[in-house]
Amino acid sequence: MLKTTDVQTASLQSYISSPEKQKALYKRTLFVVSISQIFGGAGLAAGVTVGALIAQQMLGTDAYAGVPTALFTLGSAGSALFVGRLSQRYGRRTGLATGFILGGLGAIGVVIAAMLNSVILLFASLLIYGAGTATNLQARYAGTDLASKKQRATAVSVTMVMTTFGAVAGPNLVKVMGKCATSIGVPSLAGPFILAAVAYILAGIVLFIMLRPDPLDIAKRIAAYKQQNGHEVDSNSASQKNNKRGLAVGATVMVMTQIVMIAIMTMTPVHMKHHGHGLSEVGIVIGFHIGAMYLPSLVTGVLVDKIGRTAMSIASGITLLLAGLLAALAPSDSMVLLVIALSLLGLGWNFGLISGTAQIVDSTKPSTRAKVQGTLDVLIALAGASGGALSGMVMANKSYAVLSLSGGLLSMVLIPIVIWVYKK
């Protein structure tokens, strides 16, 4: 046993002195995480597409239709902290695999709740299902562990592009999965959660088997070696202050974009249903939305690395404003304008998430990175939960137009915050 451990340690240590092996592991990590993200994207799409509709059907009111989104985003908050700390202690492989499998178990619980018509079980299962959402987001960090500063946003973008395949397929399989569910005696709206269960569990298995050696472990060893040998510049008060600013602005950008995106996205299926649109049409709009959340990532990552985190954060605020205005002003029967509005909503979120994530990675060290990232993702999840919960109440008491317009105006807060932080 000792000999095996010695061999494993020597193998890990060999990455420290070999830039070629580091580069190869970086590419392999991106490949493995990308595969898991395809499954993860399909898993998260279920809750986005039909979560609100299941609650509306069970509760018989729109006022609480945002609760499912609030619950699985709230569940993702606790899971983000759990997965982050688990990753810090045992590595990305263990943390991410555990999170995805928990998400799959939550999806199974939602299916059972729909069969039993149990609201309590539905809400409890949605909390657990949120683990998949949190893990899907945290997986983006795994690709950055061995990336240089000029590669970090691009590394995030590669994994997010791969999420697109599953995330777009998920909503467009709503009708098919609904028929499959009905054929086995399960309510049609629970069909997408069957897909989510399988997808999340497969994502966890892929990471557990293939993510070796662990990129975060290697990054820690490289950082420790550089520090011991004087290759790493000692931290000073100025750099620590800059890191705190970086964490503050990165977190703010991601939190604000999450609130706006979740609030408008959550109520769009309910708004469409009220105006005579069918489930397949809802799937198309949400499919375009999720596609815009992830598909532009490769270009976004390059832009963030080339023109800077600040410029792309400002672009995020402007894009979200346009999305909110268009969603508010679009005629309720116009599929084309709804598709454009929700696509802009996804694009603005994409700009914010990638620029914010790159800023967070820039401002953390491998020794504490996963823990800090997990903690900040809690804020993002809580922001999403707030947006989801409040969106139903705003729409029930006002209108979808008021909700969309409010979200768009809120996104503009990003611009003065980002400028103010970097002027300090």
DSSP assignment of 333-375 equals T-HHHHHHHHHHHHHHHHHHHHHHHHHHHHT--TTTHHHHHHH
**If we measure between CA atoms, which residue out of 139, 147, 128, 142 comes closest to residue 40?**
139
Give the pLDDT of residue 236.
41
* pLDDT given for residue 237 in this prediction: 45
CATH of domain 21-225+236-423: 1.20.1250.20
pLDDT at 270: 84
Look at residue 300 in the predicted model and tell me its pLDDT.
94
pLDDT means over runs of 10, the chain (424 residues): 54 78 90 91 75 77 70 84 92 95 95 90 91 88 84 86 76 80 88 91 96 90 78 48 77 92 88 80 85 87 90 94 93 88 96 92 86 87 80 85 90 80 57
Q: What is the pTM of this model?
A: 0.77
* Domain boundaries defined on the chain: 21-225+236-423
User: Hey, what are 194's tokens?
Assistant: 């069957």
Which pLDDT does position 232 carry in this prediction? 52
Share of the chain residues as helix, strand and coil, in percent rounded to the nearest 5: 85, 0, 15
- What pLDDT was estimated at residue 36? 93
